[in-house]
Amino acid sequence: MNKIVAIKVENLTKNFNGFVAVDNVSFSIKSGEIFGLLGPNGAGKTTMISMLSTLLRPTSGSALVNGFEISTNESGVRRSIGVVFQDQSLDEELTAYENMDFHGRLYRIPKNVRQGRIIELLKLVELEEKKDNIVKTFSGGMRRRLEIARGLLHEPKVLFLDEPTLGLDPQTRNHLWEYIEKLNKEKGITIILTTHYMDEADRLCDRVAIMDKGKIIASNTPEKLKEELGGNVITIKSSERDKLYSKIKTLSWVKHVEPHDGFVTINLENAEKHVAEIANLSANNGITIHSISIHKPTLEDVFLHFTGRTIREEGASSKDQMRMKHRLRRG
């Protein structure tokens, strides 16, 4: 068993009656890493997590989790992982302690070990005082923290977090990020998280893979990915986007320019020098500019660069997503 590689995915594919949710994906995660799967809704992140946690059988390909093959050694994989699902999976009628206790029993943790560990973990996520409260009374953030604590109870080697901060307020998100970092540092747990918040990935992850339409289109450390884009990014909002785009395209110092919905992004070096030039250019051509901003590339720009879309531009309406989810569930 290779101790250095926590997860190794090779040519993994999931096909739901003709809809390819995960398309021939390969990657590997080192032990002790925080690895982020980035992408818009419907990119295949949750399907990927479901396969790696043995809830879905892959159509083809293979994956090793903590040295166990997902399709032939389900119980080996299950013993090695903790999962925090995107949708809540607590029993709302039970107390926080009882939810933990149930989990401990499922993983056959002996009573004396179980009791101590539950209290220790509830302390870690600051829910110890609430341990005898019914989960129904908990806020979204408290539930998430409880789920994370529960996922750690059986001391997994690998922790899956599927959209851990979805729908939480900024303060709670920050709080959770601190926990996740602490867990990774202090307990050495390998963490694989999915998110469509680019700042979350940037802040937490040692390495990220950008997923789009079932494929991984880029994978590296957040820093490297941003460096690859290089220099600066100028974003110009204008109602005459196309005209602006065709003018800027001809400039020699522009590395890359792309039109988007109501704005144009330009990748270039030394943006400070050239921004005046752009302003003059558009003034001379009678193009109205609403705003110009210069910033260092973010993962958002990286995503934009690789997919040609912003993560928010995603075509799928919420109805489509519901339909998709429904389809995935029916699998």
Q: Does 323 bind other proteins (CB under 8 A)?
A: no
Q: Residues touching other proteins: how many (CB under 8 A)? A: 30
Instruction: Write the binding mask 29 to 68 for other proteins: x where contact by CB under 8 A, - elsewhere.
Output: ------------------------xxx-------------
Segment contacting other proteins (CB under 8 A): 31-39, 74-82, 169-177, 259-267? 74-82
Selection from 245, 240, 285, 241 nearest residue 266 by Cα: 245
Query: For other proteins, which is the closer residue by CB, 74 or 240?
Result: 74
**Residue from 36, 45, 51, 85 binding other proteins (CB under 8 A):** 85
CA gap 299, 201 in Å, rounded: 8
Instruction: Write the binding mask 243 to 272 for other proteins: x where contact by CB under 8 A, - elsewhere.
Output: ------------------------------
CA gap 236, 263 in Å, rounded: 6
Selection from 85, 96, 166 nearest residue 136 by Cα: 96
Query: For other proteins, which is the closer residue by CB, 75 or 252?
Result: 75
301's tokens: 């720009």
Query: For other proteins, which is the closer residue by CB, 100 or 278?
Result: 100
Query: How far are the Cα atoms of 135, 177, 205, 238 from residue 192, in angstroms, in the given order?
Result: 26, 13, 9, 39
Closest distance of CB 49 from other proteins, Å? 10
Query: For other proteins, which is the closer residue by CB, 105 or 323?
Result: 105
Q: Does 75 bind other proteins (CB under 8 A)?
A: yes
Closest distance of CB 322 from other proteins, Å? 13
Positions 91 through 130 that interact with other proteins (CB under 8 A): 91-94, 98, 102-103, 105-108
Query: For other proteins, which is the closer residue by CB, 95 or 220?
Result: 95
Closest distance of CB 78 from other proteins, Å? 4
**Residue from 90, 229, 275, 311 binding other proteins (CB under 8 A):** 90
Q: Does 330 bind other proteins (CB under 8 A)?
A: yes
Segment contacting other proteins (CB under 8 A): 35-43, 72-80, 119-127, 190-198? 72-80
Q: Does 88 bind other proteins (CB under 8 A)?
A: yes
Pairing between β-strand 232-238 and β-strand 289-295 as defined by DSSP bridges: antiparallel
Q: Does 79 bind other proteins (CB under 8 A)?
A: yes
Q: Which residues pair with residue 74 across a beta bridge?
A: none
Query: For other proteins, which is the closer residue by CB, 32 or 76?
Result: 76
CA gap 235, 258 in Å, rounded: 10
Q: Does 89 bind other proteins (CB under 8 A)?
A: yes
List interacting residues with other proteins (CB under 8 A): 53-55, 74-75, 78-79, 81, 83, 85, 87-94, 98, 102-103, 105-108, 134, 150, 329-331
